[in-house]
Amino acid sequence: MIRQKIVAGNWKMNGSKESIQTLISGLLDMDGSNSEVVIAPSFPYLSQVHDLIDGSNLVMAAQNASQEEKGAFTGEVSVSMLADFGVKYILLGHSERRSLYGETDEVVASKVKTVLGFGLIPMLCIGETLEERESGKTLEVCERQIQAVIDVVGVESFAKMTIAYEPVWAIGTGLSASADQAQEVHQSIRAFLAKSSESVSEKVQILYGGSVKASTSSALFKMPDVDGALVGGASLDAKEFIAIVKTAG
Ligand code: PEP
């Protein structure tokens, strides 16, 4: 099955009105691409980004959302609010959310359910720490993180989701997984899903994330089970991000 590639930029907690204006005008210079190009600004800038990308092929993601629909949850942002601003994807379970803000597999699964309920697309982030990789637990961890979501929303829901495999040891370290390492895990994730649904496993787009740069992305994108990238640091530089998008074809 041909799966469209997605190249998504996670801006994390970076940017200002001015720097975002500059970054987006750089991105709008991009030639047409066969890939879907996604950017994920911090919440306060969604409105600005929404207006700036209007009429372009750029698509907006949010970096997180509440599992609650509405109500007395001070400081939280609901999925319906994000939908109001034209957000298509929501990153869920990013390793920084899991490790710094205590998001458990169960919380992430509950967020996935809420996001699907509003018709938005979860970008489910999974991945192992260095210690887990070194003790041979990479697949066990990825499968546990996926199973927790299957337990809540069912495997068929993965046809309406994307997965980002992001080894924690590769995020923000400059140390990307090799294309072969990424392929090995992506293929195993697909095989794990195939045990429950062959068609879902063929359809779901699995992105790689972790220190992706233009110099490493073309090898990654040549891998049959790598359907794009979730890019952190390099997505803050329009030229570098465009160069990554170009390698996706
Ligand atoms: C990320 O934050 O999802 C990420 C992959 O970051 P970086 O590209 O900077 O490693």
- Amino acid, single-letter form, for residue 86: G
Q: Render pLDDT for 131-161 as a digit per residue (tens, 0 to 9).
A: 999 999 999 999 999 999 999 999 999 999 9
State residue 73's pLDDT score. Answer: 98
Q: Residue 164: is its pLDDT beyond 90?
A: yes
- CA–CA gap between residue 175 and residue 210 (Å, rounded): 7
- CA–CA gap between residue 12 and residue 196 (Å, rounded): 34
What does the pLDDT average to over 57-72? 98
Residue 164 alpha carbon to ligand 1 centre in Å: 11
Residue 124: its H or E element = strand 121-126
Q: Residue 83: is its pLDDT beyond 90?
A: yes
Q: Render pLDDT for 181-197 as a digit per residue (tens, 0 to 9).
A: 999 999 999 999 999 99
Q: What is the third-level CATH fold of 6-248?
A: TIM Barrel (3.20.20)
| Cβ-based neighbours of 150, under 8 Å, separated by 6 or more | 158, 196
Helix 105-117 × helix 138-153 angle, to 10°: 40
The DSSP result for 181-232, as a single string, is: HHHHHHHHHHHHHHTT-HHHHHH-EEEEESS--HHHHHHHHTSTT--EEEES
Q: Model-level pTM?
A: 0.97
Q: Please report, in angstroms and rounded to a whole number, the separation of the first and last CA atoms in the chain.
A: 17
User: What is the rounded (10 degree) CA torsion for 229, 233, 237, 241?
Assistant: -10
Domain coordinates in residue numbering, the chain: 6-248
Q: Look at residues 111, 112, 110, 108 and name the one whose alpha carbon lies nearest to residue 127.
A: 108
State residue 31's pLDDT score. Answer: 84
Mean pLDDT over each residue of the chain, to the nearest integer: 97
Residue 173 alpha carbon to ligand 1 centre in Å: 9
Residue in the block written with tokens 């787009």: 205
The answer to whether residue 166 is catalytic is: yes
State residue 32's pLDDT score. Answer: 86
Q: Render pLDDT for 106-136 as a digit per residue (tens, 0 to 9).
A: 999 999 999 999 999 999 999 999 999 999 9
| Cβ-based neighbours of 107, under 8 Å, separated by 6 or more | 67
State residue 158's pLDDT score. Answer: 98
Q: Look at residues 231, 235, 229 and name the one whose alpha carbon lies nearest to residue 5.
A: 229
- CA–CA gap between residue 227 and residue 35 (Å, rounded): 9
State whether the beta carbon of 231 lies less than 6 angstroms from ligand 1: yes
Residue in the block written with tokens 């970096």: 63
- Amino acid, single-letter form, for residue 149: V
The answer to whether residue 94 is catalytic is: yes
- CA–CA gap between residue 153 and residue 50 (Å, rounded): 29
- CA–CA gap between residue 211 and residue 217 (Å, rounded): 10
State residue 21's pLDDT score. Answer: 98
DSSP three-state, residue 8:
strand
Q: Residue 100: is its pLDDT beyond 90?
A: yes
Taking the CB of residue 34, how many other CB atoms lie within 10 A of it?
9
Q: Residue 1: is its pLDDT beyond 90?
A: no
What does the pLDDT average to over 32-57? 96
- For residue 96, the ligand 1 atom closest to its alpha carbon is 2
Q: Residue 233: is its pLDDT beyond 90?
A: yes
Which listed residue (96, 128, 143, 166) is catalytic?
A: 166
Q: Residue 55: is its pLDDT beyond 90?
A: yes
Q: Residue 56: is its pLDDT beyond 90?
A: yes
DSSP three-state, residue 52:
helix
- For residue 233, the ligand 1 atom closest to its alpha carbon is 9
